[in-house]
Structure 1
Amino acid sequence: MIIRKSSLILFTTIFINTFLIFSQEWNVNYDESKVETYSLPSILTSHSGMIINNVNDWEEFRRPEILYSFTNHVYGNIPGKLDSVIVKITEHGNYLNSLAKRKQVTLTFIKNGKELSTDLLIYLPNSIKKAPVFLGYNFQGNHTVIDDKNIFITKSWVPANEALGVTSNQATEKSRGEMSRRWSVEKIINAGYGLVTLYRGDIDPDKDDFSDGIHQLFYLKDQKKPEADEWGTIAAWSWGLSRVMDYIEADEDIDHEKVIVFGHSRLGKAALWAAATDKRFAGCISNNSGEMGAALSKRNFGETIEVINTAFPHWFCGNFKKYSKKEYMLPVDQHMLISLIAPRPVYIASATDDLWADPKGEFLSAKEASVAYNLYGISGLITTTMPQPDSPIIGVVSYHLRTGVHDVTDYDWEQYIKFAKFNNF
């Protein structure tokens, strides 16, 4: 795999500079001694005060309560269903000296006489008839995931990025394979797994404009943006992952019962919500997802609800705006989001230098969520103490703190493959 050091350095520099600006503007806290006392909502106490102590009550009463609160206060409701979906295999071939097969598939969503398409990039090991897969979005286009000349260059809107040759929001040949360091495709294939990925901008461009993504297909007459209780971009991305799952269920080359949904950073937030809302995902991996991903929001450490609602107002539903600077009023926190994935395996990953994402808050969230797993006779996270860097805890609920910055590395993928094998995927 070719790693372009210039791109790696530039991406890291952009990330650090961006969040230094955010940190100064919003006086973000990075001092553990300044984390004030906070109270987390109880996972196992219902709104009526009933203590949940068995799987049936959890599944029938408490889990739906938590899901409802997240939907209406944070992520937003999906306003209807598609009229139809057209599936077209647009390209296929071999890769890695025929160790893997490549497939490109276009899904076209149709609603109210309008349509929107997304392209899937699929790599599967030839050695396995029905392969388990990792499914996740990429940030800059399928063609950036690996240096393969056969991958179509996205025609969707792409954020301007000089390092990738994107100066007018249009991807170019220069960006081919530029993000391959984040996708250990050969390592994944050699371990017996496949990869399914799609560009986030196909479903919804990551900007405060709801006119050119999936939302506009569902608008009523004269509607210009989602209502206050309707989906933002994170929920739209999660919805998109479920639509890919619809396709996977019909793909005879993929084991649809062994699909692990994966996401990094803001896409890790989307992956967690997808796993919470769609039980067809057999497992979930959240890589450096931070605030409103895996980290506890009530700690007020690193990124906060106020920062998200100001810098990225399109990510969550309109109702979520009222909780800026009022985390204590939010009836849920992210340990409850992870609990919605139980009893399915989940992996939460942090990085030592990624204080913006609050590694400790991510660990505590996984630890607190373990009580839901206990109902199913599963131990959950098997430690109460945050592990040292590069000392992964692999189980049904897994966690690691990697040395380094906000990124996805070969080290991360090595742990995710171990996680998949441990849980018999």
Structure 2
Amino acid sequence: MLLAQPEANYDETKIPKFSVPDPLTSFSGLTITDSLQWEEKRKLEIFQFFEKQIYGKVPALLDEYSFKVIEQDNNALGGKAQRKQIAVGLKKNGRTLNFNILLYLPNGHENAPVFLGYNFHGNHTVTNDPNVIITEAWNANSTDLKISNNKATEASRGVRANRWPIDKMLDKGYGLATVYYGEIDPDKNDFSDGLHSLFYDEEQTKPKTNEWGSIAAWAFGLSRAMDYLDNDTNISNVIVFGHSRLGKAALWAGATDPRFTGVISNNSGCGGAALSKRKFGETIGRINNSFPHWFSESFKKYSNREETLPVDQHQLLTLIAPRPLYVASAIEDEWADPKGEFLSAQHASKVYELYGKKGISLTDVHEVDRPIQQTLAYHMRSGKHDVTDYDWDQYITWAETFSR
């Protein structure tokens, strides 16, 4: 049932009074004082809450999965890169789902670090490379991106290359792995045609109340891509990246899979890096109304009732500690609440400090185009909801401090 939503609030003076749950105080009131206590007493209970009440549990293990390199060119992009296209097969209950990884690795660099991220409309949209396979999966229509009849065609090749500065990554010695998220689970309120359906019991048509929504399914897909990347001897480590809804998925993937060396959240907003209790911009009620398939069904009880949540999104960020984490916002992206993302990073930093890692100090302020590059990093750039060269310049500079 869709609930009537109040007008979105963009006025700081109208934010309700709220307290930020202390990540270092357990649900039973125990004070956490060191990283060992955190690991043994606190981290698991936070993780289990997010898993059961927000993103939803993965219901079972796969029966099997497979990888096959279906195309390779060691002299791609004018000789700059090795290109691989890898078909991944997932099997459960006699049902199969397939998706493709597009992988570029820089020539002349052994054991390169790699950025792994989902794209919104197909691997062929991130580059003008004519050899990249066009996705056959359901695709959201977009006049601007030349996608109609829910099908990608040659007309949409390279239409999102502006968000993926592949040459810059390669020149700096980084690789890129990307997957079209719609091949994992089409982004529509229909649980019949994606990853979820592999796991259904007979006559089941949607996940159970505390089982995974689409964000958790997309996070699961990132981990299955990692299964391949983790065994490619030309790759040293993998940093998972996501923008907007896919930033939410990247954060949950980082929280659920410790193999990711670092995590980048770009404008992930509500249900991602932004504090929910501020009720600024997009709220839990609005996101559950607009995208009822993204989260677990159990999350809907917090729609328009953020004050009843015993956690907030800064505690999602703490689940990634002590691994490097970058949270990024844009000053004009009020829907995603840039200040709420900054505050979330600040409040998560006390867990990083348990490990002797630096984060965002409570005395820091979110200045536009002034990155704070610590183990837990943050920037708020000029402009709108997007991924820009400025963002990637910061991510690459930051990654160079830990990924070599």
Normalising by structure 2, what TM-score? 0.97
| 1:97 positional shift | 1.9
Aligned AA for 1:100?
A
**CA–CA distance in structure 1, aligned partners of residues 70 and 144 of structure 2:** 29
In structure 2, the partner of 1:250 is 231
> Per the alignment, in what secondary structure is the counterpart of residue 297 of structure 1?
coil
In structure 1, the partner of 2:13 is 33
* Deviations 1:1-28 (CA, angstroms, capped at 9, x unpaired): xxxxxxxxxxxxxxxxxxxxxxx96400
> Per the alignment, in what secondary structure is the counterpart of residue 28 of structure 2?
coil
**CA–CA distance in structure 2, aligned partners of residues 384 and 157 of structure 1:** 47
In structure 1, the partner of 2:64 is 84
In structure 2, the partner of 1:109 is 90
Aligned AA for 1:389?
V
**CA–CA distance in structure 1, aligned partners of residues 176 and 66 of structure 2:** 22
> Per the alignment, in what secondary structure is the counterpart of residue 110 of structure 1?
strand
Aligned AA for 1:239?
F
**CA–CA distance in structure 2, aligned partners of residues 250 and 301 of structure 1:** 42
Is the CA contact (8 Å cut-off) linking 2:113 and 2:403 kept in structure 1? Answer: no
- For the pair 1:222 / 2:203, whether they are aligned, the reply is yes
- For the pair 1:306 / 2:273, whether they are aligned, the reply is no
**CA–CA distance in structure 1, aligned partners of residues 403 and 262 of structure 2:** 11
> Per the alignment, in what secondary structure is the counterpart of residue 192 of structure 2?
coil
Identity percentage of aligned residues: 55
In structure 1, the partner of 2:175 is 194
**CA–CA distance in structure 1, aligned partners of residues 306 and 5 of structure 2:** 19
**CA–CA distance in structure 2, aligned partners of residues 167 and 267 of structure 1:** 22
**CA–CA distance in structure 1, aligned partners of residues 377 and 181 of structure 2:** 26
> CA RMSD for the aligned pairs?
1.1
**CA–CA distance in structure 2, aligned partners of residues 104 and 328 of structure 1:** 46
* Match 2:166 to one of 162, 174, 185: 185
Higher helix share: 1
- For the pair 1:279 / 2:279, whether they are aligned, the reply is no
In structure 1, the partner of 2:395 is 416
Is the CA contact (8 Å cut-off) linking 1:346 and 1:397 kept in structure 2? Answer: yes
* Deviations 1:46-88 (CA, angstroms, capped at 9, x unpaired): 1111100011110011000100110111011101011111211
In structure 1, the partner of 2:373 is 394
Is the CA contact (8 Å cut-off) linking 1:137 and 1:267 kept in structure 2? Answer: yes
**CA–CA distance in structure 1, aligned partners of residues 238 and 363 of structure 2:** 29
In structure 2, the partner of 1:9 is none
> Per the alignment, in what secondary structure is the counterpart of residue 208 of structure 2?
coil
Aligned AA for 2:368?
P
| 1:254 positional shift | 1.2
> Per the alignment, in what secondary structure is the counterpart of residue 73 of structure 1?
helix
**CA–CA distance in structure 2, aligned partners of residues 377 and 385 of structure 1:** 18
Distance 1:25-1:79 versus aligned 2 partners, 3 A rule: closer
| 1:384 positional shift | 2.5
In structure 2, the partner of 1:151 is 132
In structure 2, the partner of 1:343 is 322
**CA–CA distance in structure 1, aligned partners of residues 190 and 179 of structure 2:** 20
The number of aligned residues is 400
**CA–CA distance in structure 2, aligned partners of residues 164 and 101 of structure 1:** 27
Aligned AA for 1:95?
A
> Per the alignment, in what secondary structure is the counterpart of residue 102 of structure 1?
strand
| 1:395 positional shift | 1.2
| 1:383 positional shift | 5.8
- For the pair 1:44 / 2:24, whether they are aligned, the reply is yes
Aligned AA for 1:136?
G
Aligned AA for 2:235?
I
Normalising by structure 1, what TM-score? 0.93
> Per the alignment, in what secondary structure is the counterpart of residue 408 of structure 1?
coil
Is the CA contact (8 Å cut-off) linking 1:367 and 1:384 kept in structure 2? Answer: no
Is the CA contact (8 Å cut-off) linking 1:136 and 1:263 kept in structure 2? Answer: yes
In structure 2, the partner of 1:127 is 108
* Match 2:220 to one of 239, 258, 272: 239
Aligned AA for 1:62?
R
**CA–CA distance in structure 2, aligned partners of residues 328 and 223 of structure 1:** 33
Aligned AA for 1:347?
Y
**CA–CA distance in structure 2, aligned partners of residues 87 and 166 of structure 1:** 29
* Deviations 1:204-252 (CA, angstroms, capped at 9, x unpaired): 0000000000000000111000000000000000001111111111111
* Deviations 1:174-220 (CA, angstroms, capped at 9, x unpaired): 10000000001000110110000000000000000000000000001
In structure 1, the partner of 2:238 is 259
In structure 2, the gaps of 5 or more residues are none
**CA–CA distance in structure 1, aligned partners of residues 303 and 397 of structure 2:** 38
Aligned AA for 1:52?
I
* Deviations 1:366-415 (CA, angstroms, capped at 9, x unpaired): 00000101111112224633232111111101111110000000110000
> Per the alignment, in what secondary structure is the counterpart of residue 367 of structure 2?
coil
Is the CA contact (8 Å cut-off) linking 1:381 and 1:396 kept in structure 2? Answer: no
